[in-house]
Amino acid sequence: MAGWTNDRWRSGLHRVLNPPRDARGSTRRLSLVYFVNPNYDAMVECLPGCQDADHPALYPPVKAGEHRLQKVLTATSDVQLVRAS
């Protein structure tokens, strides 16, 4: 959304913590996840209403799938893959 709205709409940082092991009562954690992504070939670029001469686009246009792949590669660049033998 940041790329489409020129940072007007940005996602917030979110975390989930498990309750302490010794907690009693209704402390069970329930997480529901819903992911939404545009089609791989969808172009993500600043919407015309979110930019003008004083507020140029902050991000270059990019295909949604390429952007998502780059995020995965960046997040896993320090992770070593271990093959089961």
* Domain assignment present for 2: yes
Q: Decide: 38 and 81 in contact? Cβ < 8 Å.
A: no
* Domain assignment present for 54: yes
Which structural domain range is residue 44 located in? 1-10+38-71
Q: Does residue 43 or residue 79 have the better pLDDT?
A: 43
* Domain assignment present for 60: yes
Dihedral sign of CA atoms 40, 43, 44, 50 in order: negative
Confidence band of 13 (pLDDT split at 50, 70, 90): confident
Q: Does residue 27 or residue 12 have the better pLDDT?
A: 12
Q: Rounded to two decimals, what is the model's pTM?
A: 0.60
* Domain assignment present for 17: no
* Domain assignment present for 56: yes
Instruction: Give, in order, the Cα–Cα distances in Å from 14 to each of 17, 31, 55.
Output: 10, 12, 28
* Domain assignment present for 49: yes
Q: What is the pLDDT of residues 68-85, one digit of tens each?
A: 999 889 888 866 555 555
Structural domain tally of the chain? Answer: 1
- The pLDDT, as a whole number, for residue 62 is 95
* Domain assignment present for 29: no
* Domain assignment present for 62: yes
